[in-house]
C-alpha cells in the first residue's frame, strides 16, 4: 500500500511539472501588445500610449484625444510592454486591429 501511494504521489508530481512547463510555453505563444503599437478601429487610427506608470490609453492619431467615441480612456495594466488582448479591449469599446507592431518594427496586415 505504501509503495502504491509513493508511486502515485511521484506520478502526480511529474505530471504537475509537465503541466507547469506547458503553461509557460503556452504563455510565450500568447499575442501581446505594447505601448507604441498602432491600431485601426471602426473610424480612426490610434496609438497605444503610456500615461504614467502602468496607466495606458489609446490616443487618436488625428487629434490626440484619449477619450472619445470608441476609446474608453486610461486603464491600468500589469506590463505596458506585454499587454494581453483583455487589457487592450479594456482601452477600446470596438475591435481594434493592430497595423504596426512597435517591438518588431513591422506593419501587421
DSSP of 71-89: B---EE-S-TTSB-HHHHH
Round the average pLDDT of the chain to a whole number and report it: 83
> pLDDT digits over 81-102, tens only?
999 888 888 888 777 888 877 7
The residue-averaged pLDDT of 25-41 equals 85
Determine the pLDDT at residue 78: 93
Residue 27 has pLDDT above 80, yes or no: no
Q: Which of 22-26, 47-51, 93-97 has the largest mean confidence?
A: 47-51
Cell numbers 477600446 correspond to what residue?
Answer: 92
CB 87 within 8 A of CB 37: no
Distance, CA of 65 to CA of 5 (rounded, Å): 63
- Per-domain boundaries in the chain: 1-30, 38-107
DSSP, res 95:
-
Report the predicted TM-score, pTM, of the whole model to 2 decimal places.
0.66
Cβ contacts of 46 within 8 Å, gap of 6 or more:
38, 39, 40, 58, 59, 60, 61, 71, 92, 96
**24 vs 81, residue with greater confidence:** 81
Amino acid at each position: 500500500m505504501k509503495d502504491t501511494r509513493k508511486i502515485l504521489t511521484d506520478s502526480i508530481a511529474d505530471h504537475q511539472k509537465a503541466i507547469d512547463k506547458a503553461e509557460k510555453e503556452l504563455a510565450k505563444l500568447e499575442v501581446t501588445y505594447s505601448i507604441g503599437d498602432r491600431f485601426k478601429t471602426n473610424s480612426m487610427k490610434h496609438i497605444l500610449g503610456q500615461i504614467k506608470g502602468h496607466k495606458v490609453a489609446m490616443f487618436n492619431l488625428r487629434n490626440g484625444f484619449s477619450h472619445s467615441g470608441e476609446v474608453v480612456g486610461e486603464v491600468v495594466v500589469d506590463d505596458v510592454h506585454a499587454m494581453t488582448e483583455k487589457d487592450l479591449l479594456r482601452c477600446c469599446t470596438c475591435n481594434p486591429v493592430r497595423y504596426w507592431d512597435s517591438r518588431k518594427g513591422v506593419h501587421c496586415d
